[in-house]
Amino acid sequence: MQTSRYEELFRENVVMTIDQLKQLTGRPRESILRDLKSIGYYSSYNGRGKYYTLGNTPEFDSLGLWKYQGAYFSIRRTLLDTAEYLVSVSNAGCTHDELRLMLGIGIQNSLYQLIVAGKVARRQFGG
């Protein structure tokens, strides 16, 4: 499928799901993903990556985050990489609540995965 067709579709709907793209293009999931990969895209870190946008669309903030109508994207692409980065650049680390506020979603399971993998450490703060 031509790049311009996807650009046209994403101009009308800045963020879409694969199901929406399948309906609009008549193409299977694998073909859509291959097409998007060739032109550059981001998938959301929330909703199990179900939201997609073109690579030149997000206007990332200073933390590398972009939120659009309930879809959350990171310049670091994955929730785990994003959480690890946010903890690493913080002078005093981050609490779960601080990360939840920055990212817009609960990340308790992701934090646990990072701790188990040895990518972040857990320390008691205060009482």
Cα torsion through 113, 18, 9, 30, rounded to 10: 100
Which two three-digit tokens encode residue 78?
A: 């994955």
pLDDT at residue 62, rounded to an integer = 96
Percent of the chain residues past pLDDT 90, beyond the cut: 85
pLDDT at residue 49, rounded to an integer = 96
Amino acid at position 107, single letter: I
pLDDT at residue 93, rounded to an integer = 84
* CATH number at 1-75: 1.10.10
Running DSSP on this structure, what letter comes out for residue 104?
S
Residue with tokens 């939120």: 67
Q: What is d(CA 30, CA 123) in angstroms, rounded to the nearest whole number? A: 43
The backbone region for 74, taken as left when phi is positive above 0, alpha when psi lies in -120 to 50, beta otherwise, is beta
pLDDT tens column, 54-73: 999 999 999 999 999 999 99
Domain boundaries, the chain: 1-75, 78-116
Beta pairing class for 41-43 and 71-74:
unpaired
Beta pairing class for 16-17 and 41-43:
unpaired
- Is-above-0.75 flag for pTM? yes
pLDDT tens column, 8-26: 999 999 999 999 999 999 9
